């Protein structure tokens, strides 16, 4: 089922949590809402589910306006960060709950509900746990049961709110792969919220990067990593180094010297900020148009060495990443030029 969010605004009391957000989700897509806390990602998810009502704007399921339909009518599967399982019910009763509360006419028979619960338990790779209580399961198992419960009602959309947020790193990685497999097997349109960019980039078909109640960028993992369209996305996704620069005469300048980066996409003249990835730099020997700085610190981080440089009279600091054994790590002065970069005008 396609989901279309159209100019949605949401205010809590007078505090705006979302400003005119629009988003098209294709049928069968796996979408990640990624952002720091307070960015409005969970609010957007809850609006789609119907757990909140938009202050303005519409939410369409297919071509029907669902904005003011009740949660029960929307038929969405929602998975909560802390599972929200019913602890007085067995695993099988938890999974069957959504079918059991249907009105008599559409309610499957008891045996059918039981069979469906067993099927779903097999799908989420927890066979044989029908008669356990949630308290007897581990966190990872509980979250699998929660997903099975959400899928039991054959939802139009599957919504997951930080589904792996409460689990430890090992289990998270395992469940990530597992969720991808389930998505491929069932083809549900799925939206999940996360603040973990690794999770979002690895898992999602498209990533929606959010900040301060606005969508900053929507794109594939490659799009948002290689072609960030805003300073926020550049800074939020992956590592980045920044340097205050000036744009003039089609060149990027650092303290009155051009650094050999010609402007190609029409950034206006004036003060700006240069963004680049610390590991995407070319080291240069002689400096006719480059960034040169004094080494002030050098740290070993996993497989690379991070070198902190002080640039020019302004003593701005930037970080670059070098291979461990690189000769330049012994030098006191390093000249480099970013291979891939972007300048954003300083507001």
Partner 1 sequence: MSTTPAQAGWRFKAPSVIPGFGLTLGFSLAYLTLIILIPLAGLLWRSASLGWADFWAIATDERTVKALEVSFGTAIVAALVNVVFGTIVAWILVRYRFPGRRIVDAMVDLPFALPTAVAGIALTTLYAPNGWIGQLLMPLGIKVAYTPLGIVIALIFIGLPFVVRTVQPIIEEIDKEVEEAAATLGANRWQTISRVLLPGLAPAIVTGFALAFARGVGEYGSVIFIAGNLPYVSEIAPLLIVIRLEEYDYAAATAIASIMLGLSFAMLLVINLIQSWSRKRYG
Residue length, the chain? 347
Of 86, 92, 59, 95, which Cα lies nearest the Cα of 74? 59
| Cα separation values, 337 from 197, 275, 285, 347, Å | 27, 12, 11, 25
Min. distance of Cβ 144 from partner 1 in angstroms?
15
For 41, the 3-state DSSP assignment is helix
106 contact partners, CB below 8 Å, separation of at least 6: none
| H/E stretch holding 246 | strand 241-248
Long-range contacts of 245-252 (CB under 8 A, 24+ apart): 245/271, 245/272, 245/273, 245/274, 245/343, 246/270, 246/271, 246/272, 247/271, 247/272, 247/343, 247/345, 252/343
Stretch that binds partner 1, among 1-9, 72-80, 119-127, 287-295 (CB under 8 A): 72-80
- Size, binding site for partner 1 by CB under 8 A: 31
Min. distance of Cβ 223 from partner 1 in angstroms?
31
Cβ distance 275 to 240 under 8 Å? yes
Q: Which token pair is 242? A: 């920044």
| Cα separation values, 213 from 35, 37, 176, 183, 299, Å | 10, 10, 26, 28, 36
Among 32, 45, 49, 292, binds partner 1 (CB under 8 A): 49
Of 255, 215, 253, which Cα lies nearest the Cα of 232? 215
Among 56, 68, 88, 110, binds partner 1 (CB under 8 A): 88
Residue (77 or 228) nearer to partner 1, CB:
77
Residue (72 or 109) nearer to partner 1, CB:
72
Min. distance of Cβ 7 from partner 1 in angstroms?
24
136 contact partners, CB below 8 Å, separation of at least 6: none
Among 6, 58, 80, 166, binds partner 1 (CB under 8 A): 80
Among 61, 78, 276, 336, binds partner 1 (CB under 8 A): 78
Min. distance of Cβ 76 from partner 1 in angstroms?
6
Residue (85 or 292) nearer to partner 1, CB:
85
Tell whether residue 82 is a contact of partner 1 (CB under 8 A): yes
Q: Which token pair is 290? A: 């480059």
Min. distance of Cβ 70 from partner 1 in angstroms?
8
Q: Which residue do the tokens 């307070």 mark?
A: 38
Among 3, 32, 33, 76, binds partner 1 (CB under 8 A): 76
Tell whether residue 131 is a contact of partner 1 (CB under 8 A): no
Residue (37 or 106) nearer to partner 1, CB:
106
Cβ distance 34 to 223 under 8 Å? no
Residue (32 or 48) nearer to partner 1, CB:
48
Among 153, 263, 283, 287, binds partner 1 (CB under 8 A): 153
Q: Which of residues 96-125 bind partner 1 (CB under 8 A)?
A: 97-98, 100-102
- Number of H-type helices and E-type strands within the chain: 9, 20
Residue (97 or 253) nearer to partner 1, CB:
97
Q: Would you give the binding string for partner 1 spanning residues 263-292, x where CB under 8 A is met? A: ------------------------------
Stretch that binds partner 1, among 73-81, 162-170, 253-261, 276-284 (CB under 8 A): 73-81
Query: What's CA 9's distance to the chain center, in Å?
Result: 21
Residues near partner 1, by CB under 8 A? 49-51, 71-72, 75-78, 80, 82, 84-89, 97-98, 100-102, 133-136, 146, 149-150, 152-153
């Amino acid at each position: 089922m396609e989901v279309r969010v159209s100019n949605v605004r949401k205010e809590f009391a007078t505090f705006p949590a979302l400003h005119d957000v629009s988003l098209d989700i294709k049928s069968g897509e796996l979408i990640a809402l990624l952002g720091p806390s307070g960015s409005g990602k969970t609010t957007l998810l809850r609006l789609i589910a119907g757990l909140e009502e938009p202050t303005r704007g519409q939410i369409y399921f297919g071509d029907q306006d669902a904005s003011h339909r009740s949660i029960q009518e929307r038929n969405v599967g929602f998975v909560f960060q802390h599972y929200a399982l019913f602890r007085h019910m067995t695993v099988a009763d938890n999974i069957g709950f959504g079918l059991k509360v249907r009105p008599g006419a559409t309610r499957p028979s008891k045996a059918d509900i039981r069979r469906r619960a067993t099927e779903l338990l097999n799908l989420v790779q927890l066979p044989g746990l029908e008669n356990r209580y949630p308290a007897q399961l581990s966190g990872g198992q509980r979250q699998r049961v929660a997903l099975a419960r959400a899928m039991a009602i054959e939802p139009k959309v599957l919504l997951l709110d930080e589904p792996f947020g409460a689990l430890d790193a090992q289990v998270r990685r395992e469940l990530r792969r597992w969720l991808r497999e389930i998505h491929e097997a069932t083809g549900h349109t799925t939206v999940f919220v996360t603040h973990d960019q690794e999770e979002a980039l690895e898992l999602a078909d498209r990533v929606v990067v959010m900040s301060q109640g606005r969508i900053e960028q929507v794109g594939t993992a490659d799009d948002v990593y290689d072609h960030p369209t805003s300073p926020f996305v550049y800074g939020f996704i992956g590592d980045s180094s920044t340097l205050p620069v000036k744009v003039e005469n089609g060149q990027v300048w650092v303290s009155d010297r051009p650094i050999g980066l010609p402007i190609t996409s029409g950034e206006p003249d004036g003060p700006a900020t240069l963004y680049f990835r610390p590991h995407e730099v070319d080291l240069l020997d002689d400096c006719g148009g480059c960034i040169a700085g004094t080494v002030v610190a050098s740290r070993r981080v996993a497989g690379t060495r991070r070198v902190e440089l002080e640039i020019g009279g302004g003593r701005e600091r930037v970080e670059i990443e070098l291979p461990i054994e690189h000769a330049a790590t012994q030098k006191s002065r390093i000249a480099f030029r970013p291979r891939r970069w972007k300048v954003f005008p300083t507001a």
